[in-house]
Each structure stands twice: as structure tokens, then as C-alpha cells.
Amino acid sequence: MAKLVEPHGGKGLVCALLHGSELEAEKEKAAGLKKVQVSARAKGDLIMMGIGGFSPLSGFMGRDDWKGVCENMQLADGTFWPVPITLDISKEDADAISAGDEIALEADGEIMATMKVTEKYEMTEADKKWECEKVFKGEGEDSADDKFWEIAMEDHPGVIMVMNQKEYNIAGPVKVLSQGEYPDEYPGVYLTPAETRAMFEERGWTNVAALQLRNPMHRSHEFLAKIAIEVCDGVLIHSLIGNLKPGDIPADVRVKAIEILIDNYFVKDNVINAGYPLDMRYAGPREGLLHATFRQNYGINNMLIGRDHAGVGDFYGLFEAQEIFDRIPKTGDAGKDLQCKPMKIDWTFYCHKCDGMASMRTCPHSKEDRVILSGTKLRKALSEGGDIPDHFGRDEVLEHLKKYYAGLTEKVEVKMQKAASGEDMK
């Protein structure tokens, strides 16, 4: 009998979240420990470790794991992992912490976790630059050797985030005490890997696809999801509900937009609307691999990867996030290797001559006949009060988004990159 894909790492779901009396005892202990303030990114990482989303990780990475992930996309033991999951602290905190210490990790006034420190290592400017070049540098024109650092420090939020990290990293296993605000703010949408797996099993799904979203769904997203529904048992529309960069649309607005779309244009038995608690790392193709890695823990074996997946500006090739799946390391150990496979979909659009959604593989017409769809293009039009072309999005969704933008008092300029404008379309 067919079953869901196993969690990544070969150890089942590795969940650091405590419950019941164990949770209460750890909270009491945490109150007396040295407290270290952590970033929003680390808060999301902790929650994912808590619920098993980052299996097999049970804590933040030491230097050997950090180096292996940056260089080879593998932890020190050979397990595939594409993006560093590290915890940075200030020199002041580092001077007061030694290996063997237990500390409390705090975010937004709440103790999120305790941590047994196993390692402390300095992150020099050179270390941070090396990480950025390994993880964030791509094949697009903005990643050229003579441009990357000049442009990245202004326009690449992932690079800026790493370069602004504090002077030291600490590593060690964690005990997670909270899932933050997510269960209360997104009831029925914020789902743990155990919950999605139970839902898939209840529905009889074993071949499941995920659609990654950080923008509201436009017609291309809808088309991608429906392609997957045709060939899989069902699709998890999985939105990032952590922090984004300025100018991106908040999670609650996007979640409601997806609900509107599902209510009006999907067979509900074949789709689930869910969210996960991470911040975007803006790591382009490497982030596409991260999306597939933790989706495997949610019970998903197919990751939809379209044009410019997790792209930033013009740092990456249009289909680099698809091509990177062909270059990932393999050990031959099913537990250590990535089992979630990419569903590679060509550039999709609405074609007036085809009179419907199409892709470069199905549409023989010219780009003048096509409505080029992208989340960036949609956000730019909405932010500037511009006209939205016919067939760009569903009317009910666009009305919801227009109301959000009409209520904004401050707007952030949305830059249009080549991938969003359609300049590179043949």
C-alpha cells in the first residue's frame, strides 16, 4: 500500500517542542537562565525545529555543518541541507557564554526556547562574505563578479541580512517552548507537519504537491496548482506567514486572497490552504531547495518550481531554481538524500489567441498575445493604483487586494526586474 514520503533525514519527525508538565518545568527553569534576544528569522527557525518542519535538525548548526551546507549543501554527516540555519549573537553575549552553558532564547518579549550551547564560533566579515557568495550568488546578470557586491549590498535582502548578522554564532540542541502567535492568528491555516500528514492520510493522498507562495495568487499560480492537481492526489497551497521585506503584502491579506480563490475556483477536496512560520531568506535557487526539503517533512513529495522561484531582482537565471535540483549531492542513502522532487513548469501566462492559460510548451503565439503574470508586477500595479490587465487575476481576489492597498498610508516602491516584466520572454 502506497504511503506518504518519509520525513527528511531518516529519523522521522524530529520535534523539539515540549508539552505538558515537561513544558511547564522547562519554562520555570528558563526564567532563571541567561536570556539572549534572537531575530525574527531565528524565531521562525525555532518554531520549525519545534514542530518537526526542519527535521532532522534539533538545533542550530555548528561550524562544520555551516561550512558543509555553504560549500556542498550537506551537513557534516552527509545529510542534504541547502541553506545555513545558524544563530548569531553579539560579542558581548558571546563573552558571557561558554560551551556547556544553558541559555534562554527570547523574541518579542517571550522565551521561545532553551538551548544547550555546544559550540561558539566567530563569524568574521570574510566568513559572512563567503557564505553570501556560496548561498546567494546566482547566474543572473546582477551576480556577475564585477557587479555582485556593489548591487547586493543595496538590493539583495538575503545578503544584507547575513552581512548584518552579529559577530558570533552559537550552536546546540534546543527545547522549544512556544509556537509564537501563529496558532492564534492563523487557526486552521497554520499547520504542523504532523497535522498535514494526518490530513493527507485522511483524504487518501500519497502523491502530494506543494505550491510555495509569498505573493497573492494570480492566474499563473492558479494554473500551476491545477496542473499539479491533474497529476497528483492533491495540492497544499503553502504560504509563508513569517516576515517579508518592506512592500510585500502581509500574510493575513494573502491568506484571505487564497481562501477567496479556493472558494470560487477550486474543487475543495483537492486542495488545502496552509501557512508556515518562516521568514523569507531570499536565497533564490538555494531557497527553492529549502522549500522542497522542509516540504518533505510535511508529507509532500512534489515541489512546484516555476519561473524565477524565490527570485530576487536579476541575481538568478529564470529557471535556475529548477536546474539546481539536477546538481544536488546524493549519497545513495534515502534518509540523507532529498526525496521531494521538483515539478518543473515552464513560463506560464494568459494567451489571448489560445483563449486561456498556457505555457511556452503549449502556446505557439508571440509575446504580444500574452499577459505576463508575476507577483512583483501585480504588487507594483496595486501599489501605484495602476490598471491591472485583463486575465491577470480573478476579480474577487483583485477587489480584496485593492481594498488593502486603498487603506495604506505609506507605500514602498516596488522595483520591476526583468523576470517580472517579461523582457526575457521569446
Residue positions annotated with a catalytic role: 214-215
Rounded CA-CA distance 78/308 in Å is 28
What is d(CA 76, CA 391) in angstroms, rounded to the nearest whole number? 48
> 25 Cβ partners below 8 Å, 6+ apart?
none
Residues in the chain: 426
**What count of Cα atoms within 13 Å lies in the side-chain half-sphere of residue 223?**
21
CA dihedral 131, 136, 137, 141 (to 10 degrees): -160
Pairwise CA distance, residues 45 & 105, whole Å: 12
* Beta pairing partners, 119: 171
Sheet of 208-213, strands arranged across: 271-276, 234-240, 208-213, 302-305, 341-344
Closest CA to 29 of 118, 119, 116, 120: 116
Residue indicated by cell numbers 558571546? 94
Q: Per DSSP, what are the bridge partners of residue 88?
A: 169
Pairing status of strand 208-213 against strand 234-240: parallel
- Three-class DSSP category at 79: coil
